[in-house]
Structure 1
Amino acid sequence: MSRPQYELSGVRAQLEQSAAGILETERALFASRRPRSEAQHQQSESGLFDGVPQHWMLDWPSPFPAIIETASGVTLTDIDGNRLTDLCLGDTGAMFGHGPEPVLKALANAGTRGLTTMLPSSDAHVVGRLLAERFGLPRWQLAATASDANRFAIRVARAVTGRAKLLVFDGCYHGAVDDTLVDLVDGRTVSRRNLLGQVRDLGEHTVSVPFNDEAALAAALAGNDIACVLAEPVMTNCGMILPDPGFHTTLRRLTREAGTLLLIDETHTISTGPGGYTRMPGLEPDLMVMGKPIGGGIPVSVWGMTEAISDKLHVIRREQSGHGHSGIGTTLSGSAIQLACLRACLEEVMTDDAYRVMNARADRIEAGFKAVIAESGLDWTVSRVGARLEVVFSPRPVRNAAEARAAASDTIEQAVHLSMLNLGYLLTPFHNMVLVSPSLSTEEADGLVGAFAKVLARLTERDDA
Structure 2
Amino acid sequence: MIDRDRLGALLRRERATFAERNPRSAAEYERAGHLFGRVPMTWMNKKAAGFPLYLATARGATVTDVDGHEYIDFCLGDTAAMAGHSPEPVVAAVRERFDTLGGACAMLPTADAAWVGDELTRRFGVSRWSFALTATDANRWAIRLLRAVTGRPKILFNSYCYHGSVDESLIVLDSQGRSVSRDGNVGAPVDVTETSRVAEYNDLAGLERELAHGDVAAVIMEPALTNIGIVLPEPGYLEGVRELTRTYGTYLVNDETHTFSAGPGGATGAWGLQPDVVTIGKAIGGGIPSAAYGLSEEFAQRVENTKNLDLIDMGGVGGTLAGNALSIAATRATLEHVLTKPSFDRMSEMSAQFANDVQRVIDAYDLPWSVTQLGARVEYRFAKPAPRTGTESHAASDADLEDFLHVYLANRGILLTPFHNMALMSPATTEEQVERHHKAFEGAIEELSARRGPS
Q: State TM-score, norm by structure 1.
A: 0.94
User: Sequence identity, in percent?
Assistant: 42
Does residue 280 in structure 1 map to residue 270 in structure 2? Answer: yes
Does residue 345 in structure 1 map to residue 334 in structure 2? Answer: yes
Tell whether the 8 Å contact from 2:157 to 2:219 is kept in structure 1 after alignment: yes
Aligned to 2:253: 263
Aligned to 1:400: 389
Aligned to 1:32: 20
Distance 1:323 1:364 in 2: 49
Of 107, 110, 117 in structure 1, the residue corresponding to residue 97 of structure 2 is 110
Aligned to 2:79: 92
Distance 1:270 1:172 in 2: 16
Of 211, 220, 224 in structure 2, the residue corresponding to residue 221 of structure 1 is 211
Moved more, 159-168 or 187-196: 187-196
Kindly state the Cα deviation for residue 322 of structure 1 after the two structures are TM-superposed. 9.4
Q: Partner letter of residue 97 of structure 1?
A: G
Distance 1:302 1:420 in 2: 34
Kindly state the Cα deviation for residue 463 of structure 1 after the two structures are TM-superposed. 7.2
Aligned to 2:48: 61
Kindly state the Cα deviation for residue 382 of structure 1 after the two structures are TM-superposed. 0.3
Of 129, 149, 159 in structure 1, the residue corresponding to residue 118 of structure 2 is 129
Tell whether the 8 Å contact from 1:146 to 1:290 is kept in structure 2 after alignment: yes
Aligned to 1:76: 63
Relative to structure 1, the CA distance from residue 350 to residue 462 in structure 2 (aligned partners, 3 Å threshold; closer, same or farther) is farther
Does residue 294 in structure 1 map to residue 284 in structure 2? Answer: yes
Tell whether the 8 Å contact from 2:160 to 2:394 is kept in structure 1 after alignment: no
Kindly state the Cα deviation for residue 462 of structure 1 after the two structures are TM-superposed. 5.6
Alignment of 1:440-455 (within 5 A): 440-455=429-444
Moved more, 127-136 or 23-32: 127-136
Tell whether the 8 Å contact from 1:457 to 1:464 is kept in structure 2 after alignment: no
Aligned to 1:8: none
Relative to structure 1, the CA distance from residue 320 to residue 55 in structure 2 (aligned partners, 3 Å threshold; closer, same or farther) is closer
Q: Partner letter of residue 455 of structure 1?
A: A
Tell whether the 8 Å contact from 1:102 to 1:345 is kept in structure 2 after alignment: yes
Deviations 1:80-131 (A, max 9, x none): 1011100000000001210011110011001132101112112122111111
Kindly state the Cα deviation for residue 188 of structure 1 after the two structures are TM-superposed. 2.1
Aligned to 1:5: none
Kindly state the Cα deviation for residue 464 of structure 1 after the two structures are TM-superposed. 13
Alignment of 1:306-385 (within 5 A): 306-316=296-306, 319-320=308-309, 324-385=313-374
Partner-residue secondary structure (3-state), 1:290? strand
- Give 4+ residue runs of structure 1 displaced > 3 Å after superposition: 318-323, 462-465
Q: Partner letter of residue 266 of structure 2?
A: G
Aligned to 2:186: 196
Distance 1:125 1:50 in 2: 41
Tell whether the 8 Å contact from 2:46 to 2:419 is kept in structure 1 after alignment: no
Partner-residue secondary structure (3-state), 2:186? coil
Aligned to 2:376: 387
Aligned to 1:246: 236
Moved more, 455-464 or 49-58: 455-464
Q: Partner letter of residue 54 of structure 1?
A: M
Deviations 1:365-409 (A, max 9, x none): 111111111111212110110111111111212111222123221
Q: Partner letter of residue 50 of structure 1?
A: G
Does residue 420 in structure 1 map to residue 385 in structure 2? Answer: no
Partner-residue secondary structure (3-state), 1:235? coil
Kindly state the Cα deviation for residue 199 of structure 1 after the two structures are TM-superposed. 3.9
Aligned length: 451
Aligned to 1:17: 5
Relative to structure 1, the CA distance from residue 452 to residue 322 in structure 2 (aligned partners, 3 Å threshold; closer, same or farther) is closer
Partner-residue secondary structure (3-state), 1:333? coil
Aligned to 2:399: 410
Does residue 143 in structure 1 map to residue 128 in structure 2? Answer: no
Kindly state the Cα deviation for residue 196 of structure 1 after the two structures are TM-superposed. 2.1
Distance 2:346 2:12 in 1: 37
Of 201, 225, 237 in structure 2, the residue corresponding to residue 235 of structure 1 is 225
Relative to structure 1, the CA distance from residue 322 to residue 371 in structure 2 (aligned partners, 3 Å threshold; closer, same or farther) is closer
Tell whether the 8 Å contact from 2:6 to 2:453 is kept in structure 1 after alignment: no
Moved more, 167-176 or 127-136: 127-136
Deviations 1:147-187 (A, max 9, x none): 00000111111111111111000010100100101221122
Distance 1:98 1:32 in 2: 27
Q: Partner letter of residue 284 of structure 1?
A: Q
Partner-residue secondary structure (3-state), 2:353? helix
Tell whether the 8 Å contact from 2:309 to 2:315 is kept in structure 1 after alignment: no
Relative to structure 1, the CA distance from residue 47 to residue 135 in structure 2 (aligned partners, 3 Å threshold; closer, same or farther) is same
Partner-residue secondary structure (3-state), 1:215? helix
Distance 2:356 2:181 in 1: 39
Distance 2:387 2:205 in 1: 18
Kindly state the Cα deviation for residue 460 of structure 1 after the two structures are TM-superposed. 1.3
Tell whether the 8 Å contact from 2:152 to 2:215 is kept in structure 1 after alignment: yes
Moved more, 233-242 or 181-190: 181-190
Distance 2:316 2:359 in 1: 48
Distance 2:310 2:429 in 1: 53
Distance 1:56 1:108 in 2: 30
Partner-residue secondary structure (3-state), 2:354? helix
Partner-residue secondary structure (3-state), 1:42? helix
Tell whether the 8 Å contact from 1:169 to 1:231 is kept in structure 2 after alignment: yes
Aligned to 2:419: 430
Relative to structure 1, the CA distance from residue 357 to residue 451 in structure 2 (aligned partners, 3 Å threshold; closer, same or farther) is same
Tell whether the 8 Å contact from 1:413 to 1:430 is kept in structure 2 after alignment: no
Kindly state the Cα deviation for residue 320 of structure 1 after the two structures are TM-superposed. 4.1
Relative to structure 1, the CA distance from residue 249 to residue 448 in structure 2 (aligned partners, 3 Å threshold; closer, same or farther) is same
Distance 1:165 1:322 in 2: 21
Distance 1:319 1:218 in 2: 32
Distance 1:323 1:174 in 2: 25
Kindly state the Cα deviation for residue 319 of structure 1 after the two structures are TM-superposed. 3.2
